Amino acid sequence: MNYIPDNLNRLIRSYAKNKEEFPIFYIKLYTFQLARALSYIHSQGIIHRDIKPPNVLIDTSTNKVYLSDFGSAKKIVAGDQSVAYICSRYYRAPELIFGNTYYDHSVDIWSFGCVLAELFLGHPLFQGEKAVEQLLEIIKVLGAPNEEQLVYLNKINIKYEFPEIKPYSLNKIFPGKPKEAINLLQKIFTYDCNKRPNAFEIMAHPFYDELRSSEIIQNGKYIIPQIFDFSEFEILSCPNKFIIKKILPDWSDSYKYIN
């Protein structure tokens, strides 16, 4: 494969070491491309199961993003079980911590949210030394799961008792950050995986509207790769035509593939 000189983990650590914030525009640029990569593999029925900053390669000369390390990836077949002990701990969806072996692409979406949060914080949002501690870190932010949520999370019916912990406002965790970014994280960080947005819906979120501005391309301030060069196959893979119209700006060459 091509040699890609950097990855998102090193970039995050570099900014944190220098006590600088990761530029918001590049957060948008890099995570949009990550979401696009996820939309492609998910449309093929494949889940990555190890989304984390070290696996997001960055060519800093072009700002092009590559998703790497498919050693944990799997093609999901409806009704089949999958191992729950998968995905690096800080980026592991709560259903995996509970041992749920019936899961889907939404575990990648949770990990995506963890990567996005880390870009803003300079460190992982949920940092537990062991699985139970990891779950407690999630509960501190989302609050304790209710009975309805536990039905999905706890497929192996282990009895859990949680203290009454209310959700903690993401606005307090990410003070001064764009409201659109916080809104996106709120949508992703939910115990109910069916309510998490898919990768296409993430790309269509208002947080990425700046990337769709023709002025950004024209002013030449940033090095921006071809992020809207969607193939006809990618467009047809989107389950909602309204969503793909929100993703692609009307000035992009790929917009012509939308019927």
User: Torsions phi, psi of 95, nearest 5?
Assistant: -65, -30
Backbone angles phi, psi at 74, to 5 degrees: -150, 145
* Pair of tokens at residue 82: 């999958």
Distance between CA atoms of 167 and 127, rounded to whole angstroms?
A: 17
209 is catalytic: no
The catalytic position among 50, 209, 250, 253 is 50
Tell me how far CA of residue 171 lies from CA of 141, 174, 175, 180, 212, in angstroms.
11, 5, 5, 11, 26
Cα angle for residues 147, 94, 75 (degrees, 5° grid)? 120
Judge residue 231's burial from the number of C-beta atoms within 10 Å of its C-beta, 0-12 exposed, 13-18 middle, 19 or more buried: exposed
Q: Per the structure block, which two tokens stand in for 161? A: 């008792």
d(CA 92, CA 132): 12
Give the type of residue at 160.
Answer: Y
Q: What angle do CA 17, 172, 186 make, to 5 degrees?
A: 100
- Which residue is it, tokens 């990836």? 73
Burial group, residue 62, by CB count within 10 angstroms (0-12, 13-18, 19+):
exposed
Q: How crowded is residue 5: how many other Cβ atoms within 10 Å of its Cβ?
A: 10
Query: Which residues participate in catalysis according to the annotation?
Result: 50
